[in-house]
Structure formats: C-alpha cells, structure tokens
Amino acid sequence: MNKLLAGLTVFYGLGILLCGLIRLDYWLIMLVAVILLFFAVRTVKEKSLFLILVLFLALLAGCLNQKNSYRLPRCHIYNLFFFNGAGPDYSVTGSVSSVVEFRNGYYWFIMRAQEIQAGRARFCCCGKLLVKMDFTQELNYGENVTIIGNLNRIPGFNGASRRYRDFLIRQGIYLIMPVKDLRQIVRRERAGGRGLVSRCIQLRTFLEQIINRHLPELPASILCAMVLGQKRDIPWLVNNSMVRSGTVHILVVSGFNVGIVGLIINLLLKILRLPRKGRIILTAVCLLIYCLITGATNPVVRATVMGLVFLAAYFLKREPNIYNSLASAALLILAVNPQQLFDIGFQLSFISVLAIIYLYPKLKVLIRLELCKIMVLRFITEGCLVSLSAWLGTVLIIAWNFRVVVPVTVLANILIVPLAALITLCGFVLVLSGWFCPGLAGIFSLPTAALINLLLNINAALIKLPFAYIYF
C-alpha cells in the first residue's frame, strides 16, 4: 500500500497508451468507469478487490483524459480559421504567452488567441498559435497585441519536421502565423502582464543580464542553461558534442538545481532563526517561483513536485516514499497534459531517475560494495554505478529515437556530472553576488568560466575515444 500512488500512475499511463490502440467510444468508457466506481464504493471494505477496481478506474481515467485532449472546443482558433468566405488574411487579437526567441533565422513567440477576424466576420476564440517573425520585436509576456497575416497548419510530413509538429501539438499549438512586416503587429497594451508568471520572467531576464555581464559569451550561454533553463544561445556544435557524449542532460535544470535552491533558502532562513514550519512553507514557495523562472519544463516540474512532497512529509513528520514522490510528479504532469507521455524529454526525465532508484541498490549489492574499505575507490565506484544505472534505463529509448548508442556516457557522467554540479554551485553564487553585491561577482566569475571551459575540453576529449558513440 505504501506504493499505491506509483501503481495508480502506472495504470493511468497505460490508459493513455491504450486510448491510441483501442478505438472505443468516449461515453462507453465513461459508462464502464461509472459502473466500476459504483462497485468500488460497495467493496471498500474488501481491500484486495477494492484496490483492483481503483487501479482499473485509474486506467479508464487516463483513457478518458487522453480522448479529451484530442477534442478541441468549438471556439478553438483551429476550428475557425477555415471560415467560409474568408480571405487569406486574418486578424488575431490575444496576449503574448512566451518570451520572443531567435531560432533558425527567425524570431518566434507563442500567442494565446482571444479573438479572430476574417473579412467582416469576427469571433471570440481560444487556443494558442506560433508566431514566426522575420524581424526582431521586443514584446513583453502578457502584452495584448493584434496580428494580421496568414494562418497555416504546422508542416510535418516526415523526419525532424514531423517530430517538431508532434511536439507543438503536445503543447496545444496547431497553427503558425508568419509575420514579414512590423506593420502587421498592432500593440494594444504597452506594459506586459502583471501576474506571477510575468514577474518571474522579468526576474529571469534580470538574472540572465547578470550572467552575460560577468562571463564571456560561450560560458554565459552554458550557465544560463544550467541555472536558468535557457538553452537558446548555446551553439549547435556544443549541444551536438554533449549529445554524442550522453551528457546533454546537464544543460537543463533538473533535480540537483532544485535541491540547491531549496538548500540555500532553507539555510538562509535557518540563519534568520525562523520556526521550522515557516522555513518549510517559504522554501516551498521559493521552489515554485524557481520552477516558473526556469520555464516549468518536465525535469523542473518533476523535481519541484518531489521536493514539495518531501517538504510536506517533513512538515507532517512523516517518512517520504521516493516512488510515491516520483509518481506524484508524473501524475501531475499527465493529468494536465496526457500528451506529455509521448514526449521524449518526459520519458528520459522519469525513466532515468526510476532506473537509478531501482537499479543502483541492486548493482551495489551485486558487486558487494560494502566490502570495499578504500573511501576514494568506493566513491568512484558508486559514481560508476549511478551512471551505469541511468544509462541502462535510457539506452533503448535513446537508440530508438535518435538512432545512436553512446557507450562513453558512463565514463562521461562520472567525470562531467560532478564538474557540472560544481559549476551550478558557482553559478548560483555568481548570480546572488551579482544581484546583492556586484563588486564580488567579478571574482566568482573567474572560477566559473574556468570550470565551464574545463568541462567543454573534457567532453571534447571523450567523444574522440574509439566507439564513444555509434550511429545506426
């Protein structure tokens, strides 16, 4: 029973998978779910039967949620842009729901539509669309704009373009609007949104400026990715080199970063002698804010939810269960968007952690590590086992999706992950000193830049080893 939440998450995910394999009517599934719920209530005292019924209810819930995710409301912009008699140009009014990013020679941002006009017809609408600009334009998160132009389906017939189309659809984006002239954008509200997300994005921009001010361009781009989750400025060659060594995961914010934030906040509050419950609540709030600052990606959401579960257990003086903590993070993400189950980032994020949790203790017992009395050798061996566990858990997924096997990743993670952890710590110190004491930031920038250059050199040397990576 202590792993019930993990079991519910597994069956919920199976329901999402079965939804695509078995074509059943939505209302038929709903009827079966209601019948099972009725019997579950009647058999609540029979624990075994009740548990089986609850697991099947979770499976049906996943199936129903997945079917709902395919259905767009009538007012969705995708259902309105083919309005009969409309010309090639549409006028879409809405709000900016992402920062403007430069990729592949264009500037991109996501717009949340509120109204669409085609000719003389005007409709209220909902949904998101991707705006592609040929020019740079500073737009604030939450700012209201009207954009005039064509609406196109997302292209994606095969290969990388199809994967990108599927990625956008999982984010709820079905249309692209190309903008070639500045006059096609009419700004309705100069100031950006004033909500929590907007404030977090403004804070992230401020922290990026601190990093860019004190580090050269390449180290700054890597530190922004590792500390703030912003990968847009990382050169393609660097990213490709990390992929070949199997260490590209260090370029995203993950559990270690969230743990560092929680540790720093808790330590500062402890120095200020705040009560234990107050420290826990404020630490939880700071973790949520950091999640928003870094873009609320799957690894960050997973780590944040796990951190909140551990804090809640500490608050209630209970012993947390690592499987339930991981399952709660997965269940939260899939409940909001079941399409994330098919996202490679989601799969690698959770399976790698699950592999470490499950395989590492077994490998440790298998080689009888407790018999080793040399502390340095034992530490190195434990690092090897953790890296090997993560590699064994993800090797098939990486091979299937990217057509590559990376044997060097075990060695690479042993050398690079501890170095990345040290860089992350230095990065947080650099950001905090640049914020509160700019005079010290220049001092901390020197070791940070040196460590990043060392990491890049080690990575470059590793991928030159024989059979470091094998494409097929």
Q: pLDDT for 61-96, tens place per residue?
A: 999 998 888 888 888 888 887 654 445 578 999 988
Whether residue 190 is predicted with pLDDT greater than 80 in this model: the reply is: no
Q: Provide, rounded to the nearest whole percent, the portion of the chain with pLDDT above 70.
A: 94
Average pLDDT, integer, range 118-132: 88
Nearest to 279 by CA among 290, 289, 291, 264: 264
Tell the residue number behind the tokens 């007012």, with chain if given: 75
pLDDT of 31: 92
pLDDT confidence tier of residue 160, bands split at 50, 70 and 90:
low
Decide the pairing of beta strands 101-103 and 404-405: unpaired
Which structure tokens are listed for 466? 């024989």
Residue-wise pLDDT for 285-314, tens only, equals: 888 888 888 877 767 887 888 788 878 877
Residue 56 is predicted with a pLDDT of 93
Position 133 confidence tier, pLDDT thresholds 50, 70, 90:
very high
Tell me the HSE value of 274 on the side-chain side, using a 13 A CA sphere: 15
Fold adopted by 77-187:
OB fold (Dihydrolipoamide Acetyltransferase, E2P) (2.40.50)
pTM of the complete model beyond 0.95: no
> How do beta strands 185-187 and 144-149 pair?
antiparallel
pLDDT-wise least confident of 50-64, 359-373, 450-464: 359-373
**370 band by pLDDT with thresholds 50, 70 and 90:** confident
Retrieve residue 165's tokens.
């189309």
Q: CB count, 10 Å around CB of 408?
A: 23
Per-residue pLDDT tens for 137-157? Answer: 888 888 889 999 888 888 765
Range list for CATH 2.40.50 in the chain: 77-187
